[in-house]
Amino acid sequence: MKKQQNNNTLEEVVSLTTKDLGVAIAMPPDFDEFVKELSKAIQYLIDTDFERLMQILYRIDVDENKVKLAFGLENNVADELALLVIEREKQKVLTRAKYR
């Protein structure tokens, strides 16, 4: 039952994230693949339309301080931003489920 719940949550997070980012990401087989695909989409926005990316992060309501920290890290910024987006979208999904 818990695995089914996790799959439903992942599907909802993928759906919400792709809608909010305006990108097409097929339902990934697992969480790691989703992070990888989302990271690619974010890297594309970093390279081609940084202002749009920042507007999207603001609209999704990703914590501004965490975004600033992600840009200050030596790690792959796109990976860090992908995790922040997923974290925020998952919070939204769980909150909506709680109040349904």
Position 61 scores a pLDDT of: 94
Domain hosting residue 43, numbered range: 2-98
- Domain count within the chain: 1
Q: What is the pLDDT along the chain (100 residues), one digit of tens a residue?
A: 344 456 678 888 888 888 888 887 777 778 888 899 999 999 999 999 999 999 999 999 999 999 999 998 777 999 999 999 999 999 999 998 889 8
Contact 45, 56 (CB under 8 A): yes
pTM for this predicted structure? 0.85
Helix (H, G, I), strand (E, B) or coil at 62: coil
Contact 88, 60 (CB under 8 A): yes
Residue found under tokens 């202002």: 51
Helix crossing, 77-98 with 2-21: angle to 10°? Answer: 120
The one-letter amino acid at 3: K
